[in-house]
C-alpha cells in the first residue's frame, strides 16, 4: 500500500538524475563538477558520505517494504501477534554497525577539515584580501597593489590565499565550482584558500542573509593563464587614460561631481566599488551585463534593480549629461587594452 | 498613551450599548459562556486544546507565508515579492513554524495526553500551565502584529547580528521578534518545568520510570532539554534587546562586542530546539506504531536509552551550524564527530520501529499511515543530517537549499507528519469525536507526495548553486525546472492541509460518540471515557507493568484502583493568568513602540496581578463521590 509513494517519487529522481548527467546545468555554478582542489576535496567527501548513506537507506527501505507487505492486516484473518520485548543480539548489531560506519567516515572528515584549513605558503601564492559590503565585494591584492570590485581574477594552478574581512553585516563567500564557503564576519579575519585547475569564468555568490539585496550579491571569478594574468595585472596598475573627446571630458567632470565621493574612496564611511577600468568589467553591480543601456538603467533605478543598495538613484541628470557620463564610464580603462 | 485610554473608554461604552449595559444578567451570560470557560480554565485537557488550536492557526499562517515564498521562486527574476518584503516573509515563516506552530502543537498533545498516560488528575501546577499558554499566545499575537504596525522582522529566524542591529534593521521589526519571542519563551519555560515536575512526581502508584509510555518519556526528555536550552535564548534575546532598545554594545564589533557570541547563544538554544520539536514526534511514532501493529514496542529499554542519549548529545553539537564562521579545524572536527554520534541512537530508534512492525498485524488507519510515511522521510532527513555534519562537505552545503531540504525533511517529514499522526490518534480522546478515515487519506496522500515533490529537488538546487533566503536565482534551465517542481509540490501539501481542516470541521458537525478505546490502545488514556471527565480518573489506577491497559484487556481483569472512592480536590478556574499575560503583552508592545511609559505600566500591572495571586486564598473545590458515580451513569446513558 505504502510503496505506491515510490512510484510518484521516481519521476523526480529521474529528473534529478537527468540533471546530474545532463548538459543543461550551468557549469559555472555547480558544486558537483569542481574545477579546483578545494572543491575536489569536498566533492570526494560528499561522494563518500552519499555512498555510505545510500547503503544505510537501502537496508532500511528493504526491511520497511518487506514488513509493510508481509505483515499488513488481511481481510477476514484475525491474529494476535506475539508480544516480543526485544532482541539483544539484533539491538547490538544495529548499534555496533553504525558506529563502525561512522568511524570509517570520521577519518577522511577530520583529515580534510585540517587540509582545508592550512594556509598555503610559498612565493607563488597569490594573496587576496576579500571585503564584503552590502551588497558588493572588494578584492585587494596587497602584493600587487591592485584593487578590484565584483571580479576576482586569479592565475590557474596557483593557490590563492584569501583573507576575508567584514565591514557591515555578515556575508559568506562562495564559489561552488572552486570550493565551499567561508563567512565574512565583521570584527574577524577569516582565511580560506582556492585554486582553479582550468581557465574560465566561475560564478560566486553571497550565501549568508545580509539584507534586502542579498540575492543579488553575486560576483565572478576569472581564472586566467599566467601570461594573461600578468597582462591583466599590468593594465590594472596603470591609471585610466585621459579623456580626450568633448563628450568624455564632460562625462569626466560629471563623474567627479557625482560619483567620486563614494567610488574613489573620498568618503570612507560610504565606500563604493572601485571604478578604474570599469570598461573592462563584464557586469554592472555584479548582476547586469555591462552595456551602455544597462548602465543608464542602473544609474537611474539603482534601488529598484538591487533592493537596499546604498547607491542613491541618480535621476536628476539631463539626458545629454547622462549620455556623457555613461560614455565616459564605458571608455574608462587604462591605456593598454585588454 | 492618550489614544489608548480614549480607545479603551470608547470600547467600554460600545460594549455597554450593545449588551444593554453593565448588569447582573450580562455578567452571568459572560460567566457561563464557552469563551469565559476557556479563558479561565486550568484544566490540562482544555489548555491542551487551546494550545493545539492556536498551533493549527499559526501553522496555517506559516503555511501561507511558505506559499508566498514558493510563488516568488517559481521563475527567476520574478518580482512578486522581493527585497525587504521577501525577507520579512521568510523570517516570519521560520519563526512562526518553529515557535508558534510546532511548539504549541506539541504542547497541546503533551498537555492532553501526558497526565492521562501517567494516571494523574492534572499537571503539577495547573495555574502555571494556564499562565504558560497565555504567555505563549500573547507573545505569538505580538509577533504577528508586526505585519500591521511597522513591518515584520526581516533578519531571518536566526536573527544574526549585525543585520539584526538598529543600524541595519532600523524599523521595529526585529523588536517584535525579540520581545514576542521573549514573552513566548517565558511561557515555554514554565510549561517545561510543569511537565518535568508532573512526570517525576505525579505518576500513578506502581508506574516506575521504566513502565512509562514512550510519549511520556519523550515529553520528560523534551522538558529537560527546554529547561536547559531556553535560558540561552532568553539571555541572547535580552542582550539583543539592550542593544536595540537601550543602546548597549554586546553585539557591536566596533565597540568591542562580538557577532559570534550571538550565534553561539542562539545555537546553544537552537540545536536542542530542533530535538525539542522532533523528540515528541518520536514518542508519537512509538505509540502509534505499537498500537496499530498490535505489538509491544520492540526494545523499549533501548528506546528510552536512545531518547535520553539524543537529548544529552543534543547539547554537544551546536557548532555544526557554525562551521563556516571560522572557529578553526579543531573545534570543527570535535563537533563533527559529536554530531555524527547522534546517528547511532537515532538509528536504534528507526530499527526498533521497524521490528515493532515485524510480525505484527499492521492496520493502516490514518494515524498509522502517517507513522509509516514518517519512517522513510525521516530517515532521509537523518541521512542528509550526517552529510551536513561533515565540515569539509558542509562548506558546500551551508546556507544553501541543500540545508533547506535537509531541515524540512526532519521538521516537516518528521515533526509535522508525526504531529498529524498524533492528531488523528488522540483526536477522539481530545474531543470525543473521531476524524474521518476517508478524508484522512485525502490528507495523507497529497501531503506526502507534495512534500517529496517540494523538498527532494531542493537538495539539488543547493548543489547547483542556489543559496537559501534568496528571492531570485540564475536563469539556467536546471534551476528553473527544479524550482517549478518544488512549487508544484506545494499544491499537494495545500490540498492535504485543506482536507485536514475540512475533516476537523466535519468532525464537529457529527455527534460526539467516540468510544473510550477506539484503536484498541495500550496505554492508560484509553481506559477512561472520551473525552475524559474533568477529574480524569475516578480512582487512581495501580500499575503493575508496561502497557498495563493492554495487559488488563488481554487477561480480562480491570485495572486495580490504588485508592478507595473519595472526594477529589480540584483547582478552581482563574482569570489571573490571562490578565498577567495581557499585562506582559501591553508591556512588550510599549517597549516595541518605544512608549516606555506603556512598557512600565504593563510591567507594574503584571506585578500587581502577581501580588494578588500570591496573597489570594484559593482552596479549590471538591467533587463528592456521589457526584462521580452520577457522572459515570450519565455518560453510560
d(Cα B412, Cα B496) in Å, to the nearest integer?
13
Residue with cell 534568496: B470
Q: Which residues contact B108 (CB under 8 A, 6 or more apart)?
A: B48, B49, B50, B51, B52, B53, B55
List the domain boundaries for chain A. 26-73+86-237, 246-330
pLDDT of residue B160: 95
Confidence grade of residue B22 (pLDDT, cut at 50, 70, 90): low
d(Cα B272, Cα B222) in Å, to the nearest integer?
9
- The reply to whether A26-73+86-237 and A246-330 are identical in fold is yes
C-alpha cell at B238: 535580552
Confidence grade of residue A185 (pLDDT, cut at 50, 70, 90): very high
Task: Give yes or no for B328 touching A (CB within 8 A).
Answer: yes
B635 Ramachandran zone, left/alpha/beta (phi>0; psi -120 to 50): alpha
Contacting residues of A for B376, CB less than 8 Å apart = 5, 60-61, 64
Question: A72 and B362: CB-CB below 8 Å?
Answer: yes
Partner residue opposite A53 with nearest CB, options B294, B383, B395: B383
Question: B87 and A205: CB-CB below 8 Å?
Answer: no
Burial category of A76 from C-beta neighbours within 10 Å (exposed 0-12, middle 13-18, buried 19 and up) = exposed
Mean pLDDT on A64-80? 90
Q: Which residue has the higher pLDDT, B108 or B633?
A: B108
Q: Residue B549, Cα to own-chain centre: how many angstroms? A: 28
Largest CA distance in chain A: 97
- Residue A131: φ, ψ to 5°: -120, 125
pLDDT of residue A260: 84
Contacting residues of B for A187, CB less than 8 Å apart = 253-254, 257-259
pLDDT 10s digits, A275-319? 888 888 888 888 888 898 999 999 999 999 999 998 989 888 888
Give strand pairing partners of A139: A130, A148
**Is beta strand A151-155 parallel, antiparallel or unpaired with respect to A219-224?**
parallel
B249 C-beta neighbours (distance < 10 Å), count: 14
Comparing CA positions, the residue from A214, A180, A221 lying closest to residue A28 is A221
pTM over 0.95: no
d(Cα B563, Cα B537) in Å, to the nearest integer?
11
pLDDT 10s digits, B286-313? 999 999 999 999 999 999 999 999 999 9
Nearest CA in chain B to A89: B299
Chain A nearest C-alpha distance from B499 (Å): 19
A140 C-beta neighbours (distance < 10 Å), count: 19
Question: A116 and B299: CB-CB below 8 Å?
Answer: no
Mean pLDDT on A78-93? 90
C-alpha cell at B274: 530542533
Comparing CA positions, the residue from A108, A119, A120 lying closest to residue A42 is A108
d(Cα B573, Cα B125) in Å, to the nearest integer?
13
CATH architecture entry for A26-73+86-237: Sandwich (2.60)
pLDDT 10s digits, B336-377? 999 999 999 999 999 999 999 999 999 999 999 999 999 999
Q: Do residues B450 and A12 lie in contact, with contact meaning Cβ atoms separated by under 8 Å?
A: no
Using only C-alpha atoms, chain A has a radius of gyration, in whole angstroms, of 27
Chain B nearest C-alpha distance from A264 (Å): 24
Tell me: pLDDT of B637 over 60.
no
Contacting residues of B for A109, CB less than 8 Å apart = 333, 336-337, 340, 390-392
Question: A71 and B293: CB-CB below 8 Å?
Answer: yes
Task: Give yes or no for B475 touching A (CB within 8 A).
Answer: no
Confidence grade of residue B73 (pLDDT, cut at 50, 70, 90): very high
Q: Which of residues 340-359 of B touch A (CB under 8 A)?
A: 340-341, 343-344, 347-348, 350-352, 354-355, 357-359
Most confident of A65-79, B3-17, B277-291: B277-291
Task: Give yes or no for B293 touching A (CB within 8 A).
Answer: yes
Mutating which of B324, B346, B440, B459 best tests the A interface, going by the most A Cβ atoms within 10 A? B324
Confidence grade of residue B21 (pLDDT, cut at 50, 70, 90): low
d(Cα B147, Cα A199) in Å, to the nearest integer?
49
Question: A113 and B336: CB-CB below 8 Å?
Answer: yes
Chain B nearest C-alpha distance from A38 (Å): 9
Q: Do residues B326 and A188 lie in contact, with contact meaning Cβ atoms separated by under 8 Å?
A: yes
Tell me: pLDDT of B23 over 80.
no
Q: Do residues A315 and A223 lie in contact, with contact meaning Cβ atoms separated by under 8 Å?
A: no
Question: B302 and A60: CB-CB below 8 Å?
Answer: no
Chain B nearest C-alpha distance from A317 (Å): 27
CA atoms B306, B187, A209, A130: torsion sign: negative
Whole-complex ipTM: 0.91
Mean pLDDT on A132-157? 92
Tell me: pLDDT of A17 over 70.
no
- Residue B359: φ, ψ to 5°: 85, 0
Q: Which residues contact B59 (CB under 8 A, 6 or more apart)?
A: B97, B101, B105, B497
Q: Is the peptide bond between A268 and the residue preceding it cis, with omega within 30 degrees of 0? A: no
Burial category of B376 from C-beta neighbours within 10 Å (exposed 0-12, middle 13-18, buried 19 and up) = buried
Chain B nearest C-alpha distance from A68 (Å): 7
* CATH numeric code, A246-330: 2.60.40.420
Amino acid at each position: 500500500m505504502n510503496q505506491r509513494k515510490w512510484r510518484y517519487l521516481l519521476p523526480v529522481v529521474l529528473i534529478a538524475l537527468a540533471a546530474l548527467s545532463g548538459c543543461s546545468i550551468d557549469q559555472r555554478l555547480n558544486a558537483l563538477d569542481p574545477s579546483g582542489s578545494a572543491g575536489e576535496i569536498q566533492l570526494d567527501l560528499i561522494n563518500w558520505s552519499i555512498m555510505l548513506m545510500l547503503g544505510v537507506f537501502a537496508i532500511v527501505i528493504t526491511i520497511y517494504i518487506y514488513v509493510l507487505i508481509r505483515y499488513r492486516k488481511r481481510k477476514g484473518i484475525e491474529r494476535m501477534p506475539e508480544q516480543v520485548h526485544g532482541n539483544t543480539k539484533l539491538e547490538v548489531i544495529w548499534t555496533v554497525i553504525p558506529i563502525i560506519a561512522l568511524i570509517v567516515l570520521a577519518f577522511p572528515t577530520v583529515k580534510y577539515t585540517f587540509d582545508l584549513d592550512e594556509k598555503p605558503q610559498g612565493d607563488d601564492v597569490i594573496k587576496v584580501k576579500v571585503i564584503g559590503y552590502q551588497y558588493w565585494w572588494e578584492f585587494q591584492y596587497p602584493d600587487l597593489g591592485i584593487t578590484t570590485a565584483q571580479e576576482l581574477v586569479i592565475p590557474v594552478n596557483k593557490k590563492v590565499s584569501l583573507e576575508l574581512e567584514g565591514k557591515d553585516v555578515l556575508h559568506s563567500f562562495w564559489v561552488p565550482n572552486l570550493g565551499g564557503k567561508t563567512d565574512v564576519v565583521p570584527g574577524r579575519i577569516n582565511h580560506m584558500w582556492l585554486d582553479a585547475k582550468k581557465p574560465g569564468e566561475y560564478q560566486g555568490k553571497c550565501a549568508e542573509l545580509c539584507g534586502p539585496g542579498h540575492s543579488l550579491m553575486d560576483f565572478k571569478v576569472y581564472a586566467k593563464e599566467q601570461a594573461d594574468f600578468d597582462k591583466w595585472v599590468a593594465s590594472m596598475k596603470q591609471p585610466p587614460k585621459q579623456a580626450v573627446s568633448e563628450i568624455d571630458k564632460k562625462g569626466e567632470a560629471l563623474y567627479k561631481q557625482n560619483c567620486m565621493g563614494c567610488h574613489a574612496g573620498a568618503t570612507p564611511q560610504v565606500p563604493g566599488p572601485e571604478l578604474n577600468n570599469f570598461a573592462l568589467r563584464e557586469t554592472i553591480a555584479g548582476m547586469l551585463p555591462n552595456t551602455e543601456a544597462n548602465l543608464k538603467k542602473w544609474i537611474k533605478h539603482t534601488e529598484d534593480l538591487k533592493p537596499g543598495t546604498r547607491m542613491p538613484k541618480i535621476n536628476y541628470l539631463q539626458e545629454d549629461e547622462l549620455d556623457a557620463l555613461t560614455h565616459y564610464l564605458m571608455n574608462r580603462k587604462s591605456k593598454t587594452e585588454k | 498613551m492618550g489614544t489608548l485610554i480614549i480607545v479603551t473608554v470608547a470600547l467600554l461604552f460600545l460594549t455597554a450599548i450593545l449588551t444593554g449595559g453593565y448588569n447582573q444578567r450580562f455578567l452571568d451570560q459572560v460567566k457561563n459562556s464557552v469563551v469565559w470557560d476557556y479563558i479561565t480554565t486550568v484544566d490540562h485537557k482544555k489548555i491542551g486544546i487551546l494550545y493545539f488550536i492556536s498551533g493549527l492557526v499559526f501553522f496555517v499562517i506559516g503555511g501561507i507565508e511558505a506559499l508566498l515564498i514558493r510563488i516568488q521562486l517559481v521563475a527567476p527574476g520574478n518580482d512578486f515579492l522581493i527585497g525587504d518584503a521577501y525577507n520579512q516573509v521568510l523570517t516570519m515563516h521560520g519563526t512562526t513554524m518553529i515557535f508558534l506552530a510546532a511548539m504549541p502543537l506539541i504542547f497541546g498533545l503533551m498537555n492532553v495526553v501526558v497526565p492521562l498516560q501517567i494516571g494523574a488528575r492534572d499537571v503539577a501546577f495547573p495555574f502555571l500551565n494556564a499562565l504558560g499558554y497565555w504567555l505563549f499566545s500573547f507573545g505569538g499575537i505580538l509577533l504577528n502584529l508586526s505585519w500591521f504596525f511597522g513591518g515584520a522582522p526581516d533578519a531571518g529566524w536566526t536573527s544574526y547580528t549585525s543585520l539584526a542591529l538598529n543600524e541595519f534593521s532600523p524599523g521595529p521589526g526585529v523588536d517584535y521578534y525579540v520581545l514576542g519571542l521573549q514573552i513566548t519563551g517565558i511561557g515555554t519555560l514554565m510549561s517545561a518545568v510543569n511537565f518535568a515536575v508532573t512526570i517525576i512526581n505525579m505518576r500513578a502508584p506502581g508506574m516506575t520510570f521504566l513502565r512509562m509510555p514512550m510519549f511520556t518519556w519523550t515529553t520528560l526528555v523534551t522538558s529537560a532539554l527546554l529547561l536547559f536550552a531556553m535560558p540561552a535564548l532568553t539571555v541572547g534575546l535580552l542582550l539583543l534587546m539592550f542593544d536595540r532598545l537601550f543602546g548597549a554594545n554586546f553585539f557591536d564589533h566596533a565597540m568591542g562586542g562580538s557577532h559570534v557570541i550571538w550565534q553561539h547563544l542562539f545555537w546553544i538554544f537552537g540545536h536542542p530546539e530542533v530535538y525539542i520539536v522532533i523528540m515528541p514526534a518520536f514518542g508519537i511514532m512509538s505509540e502509534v506504531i505499537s498500537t496499530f501493529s498490535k505489538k509491544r514496542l520492540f526494545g523499549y529499554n533501548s528506546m528510552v536509552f536512545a531518547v535520553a542519549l539524543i537529548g544529552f548529545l543534543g547539547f554537544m553539537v551546536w557548532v555544526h551550524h557554525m562551521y563556516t564562521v571560522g572557529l578553526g579545524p579543531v573545534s570543527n572536527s570535535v563537533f563533527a564527530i559529536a554530531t555524527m554520534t547522534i546517528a547511532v541512537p537515532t538509528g536504534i530508534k528507526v530499527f526498533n520501529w521497524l521490528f515493532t512492525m515485524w510480525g505484527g498485524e499492521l492496520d493502516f488507519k490514518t494515524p498509522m499511515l502517517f507513522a509509516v510515511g514518517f519512517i522513510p522521510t525521516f530517515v532521509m532527513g537523518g541521512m542528509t543530517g550526517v552529510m551536513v555534519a561533515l565540515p569539509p562537505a558542509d562548506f558546500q552545503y551551508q546556507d544553501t537549499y541543500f540545508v533547506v531540504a535537509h531541515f524540512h525533511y526532519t521538521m516537516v517529514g518528521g515533526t509535522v507528519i508525526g504531529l498529524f499522526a498524533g492528531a488523528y490518534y488522540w483526536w477522539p480522546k481530545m474531543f470525543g469525536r473521531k476524524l474521518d478515515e476517508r478524508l484522512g487519506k485525502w490528507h495523507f496522500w497529497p501531503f506526502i507526495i507534495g512534500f517529496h515533490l517540494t523538498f527532494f529537488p531542493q537538495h539539488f538546487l543547493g548543489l547547483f548553486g542556489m543559496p537559501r533566503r534568496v528571492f531570485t536565482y540564475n536563469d539556467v534551465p536546471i534551476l528553473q525546472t527544479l524550482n517549478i517542481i518544488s512549487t508544484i509540490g506545494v499544491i499537494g501539501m495545500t490540498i492535504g492541509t485543506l482536507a485536514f481542516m475540512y475533516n476537523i470541521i466535519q468532525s464537529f458537525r457529527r455527534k460526539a460518540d467516540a468510544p473510550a478505546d477506539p484503536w484498541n490502545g495500550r496505554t492508560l488514556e484509553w481506559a477512561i471515557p472520551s473525552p475524559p471527565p474533568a477529574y480524569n480518573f475516578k480512582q487512581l489506577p495501580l500499575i503493575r507493568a508496561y502497557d498495563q491497559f493492554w495487559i488488563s484487556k488481554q487477561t480480562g481483569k480491570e485495572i486495580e484502583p490504588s485508592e478507595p472512592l473519595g472526594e477529589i480536590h480540584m483547582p478552581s478556574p482563574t482569570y489571573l493568568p490571562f490578565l498577567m499575560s495581557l499585562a506582559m503583552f501591553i508591556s512588550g508592545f510599549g517597549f516595541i513602540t518605544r512608549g516606555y511609559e506603556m512598557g512600565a505600566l504593563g510591567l507594574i500591572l503584571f506585578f500587581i496581578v502577581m501580588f494578588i495571586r500570591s496573597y489570594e486564598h484559593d482552596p479549590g473545590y471538591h467533587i463528592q463521590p456521589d457526584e462521580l458515580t452520577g457522572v459515570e451513569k450519565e455518560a453510560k446513558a
